[in-house]
């Protein structure tokens, strides 16, 4: 799961959404200065990643890509899945994607002081190029892949993965459609469990 899916799967608590959004930039349990709900979001992000990385449906898509993209394969599949969430947004939310994307940018920037440095540096680019909304179209995905490829520490060829998405589009779409209700149920249970513990 990439940024859009992580935000969506956080539910409607802004602080959980922020925690989920920044989690890749939070090292271990260095939670100083974060609220309980932000910590809950960080831990939810890690649970989502573990669930996704070990899921047999997701693994099918990875197998198609792994010979070409090696260790970058999970990142590519995560971005593919954000595309299918955005492209089929009306199936998952009554709030228009345009409105939801703008809301997400706003809540993250409202708490800019607590954001890890990497996120603070990234946000102007995310907003300027409207990543969350543009996941919905293939041109947007291609731009994301090119950007990821430029920032990769090693040669990744991720900029070429748009061709794999186009070639096997229906396969990835079907896998996403089967997988996503499972991750939705999983995260809802995690969020409900956390609420019961707080209460």
How many domains does the structure of the chain reveal?
Answer: 1
What pLDDT, in 10s, does the model give residues 163-190? 999 999 999 999 999 999 999 999 999 9
pLDDT for res 199: 39
- Report whether 131 contacts 7 (CB < 8 A): no
And the tokens for 143? Answer: 């731009």
Question: What average pLDDT is seen over the chain?
Answer: 92
What pLDDT, in 10s, does the model give residues 36-89? 999 999 999 999 999 999 999 999 999 999 999 999 999 999 999 999 999 999
Instruction: Provide the residue range defining the domain that includes 22.
Output: 3-198
Of 124, 93, 81, 111, nearest to 8 by C-alpha is: 93
Quick one: three-class SS letters along 117-167?
HHHHHHHHHHHHCCHHHHCCCHHHHHHHHHHHHHHCCCCCCHHHHHHHHHH
Q: What is the DSSP letter of 6?
A: H
In this structure, the chain runs to a length of: 199
pLDDT of 17 over the 90 cut? yes
Q: Which residue has the tokens 């299918």?
A: 84
HSE on the CB side for 61, CA within 13 Å?
32
What CA–CA distance (Å, rounded) separates 73 from 54? 14
pLDDT of 196 over the 70 cut? no
For the stretch 141-146, contacts whose Cβ atoms lie closer than 8 Å and that sit 24 or more positions apart, written own/partner, are 141/79, 141/80, 141/83, 141/165, 144/79, 145/76, 145/79
């Amino acid at each position: 799961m990439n940024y859009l899916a992580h935000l969506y799967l956080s539910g409607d608590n802004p602080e959980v959404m922020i925690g989920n959004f920044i989690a890749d930039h939070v090292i271990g349990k260095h939670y100083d200065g974060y609220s309980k709900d932000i910590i809950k979001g960080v831990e939810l992000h890690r649970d989502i990643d573990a669930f996704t990385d070990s899921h047999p449906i997701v693994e099918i898509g990875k197998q198609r890509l792994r010979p070409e993209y090696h260790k970058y394969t999970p990142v590519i599949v995560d971005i593919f899945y954000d595309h299918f969430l955005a492209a089929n947004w009306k199936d998952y939310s009554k709030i228009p994607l345009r409105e939801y994307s703008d809301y997400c940018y706003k809540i993250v920037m409202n708490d800019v002081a607590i954001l890890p440095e990497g996120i603070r540096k990234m946000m102007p680019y995310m907003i300027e190029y409207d990543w969350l909304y543009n996941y919905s179209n293939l041109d947007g995905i291609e731009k994301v892949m090119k950007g990821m490829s430029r920032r990769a520490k090693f040669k990744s060829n991720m900029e070429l993965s748009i061709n794999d998405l186009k070639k096997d589009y229906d396969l990835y779409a079907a896998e996403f459609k089967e997988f996503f209700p499972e991750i939705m149920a999983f995260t809802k249970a995690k969020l409900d469990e956390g609420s019961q513990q707080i209460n």
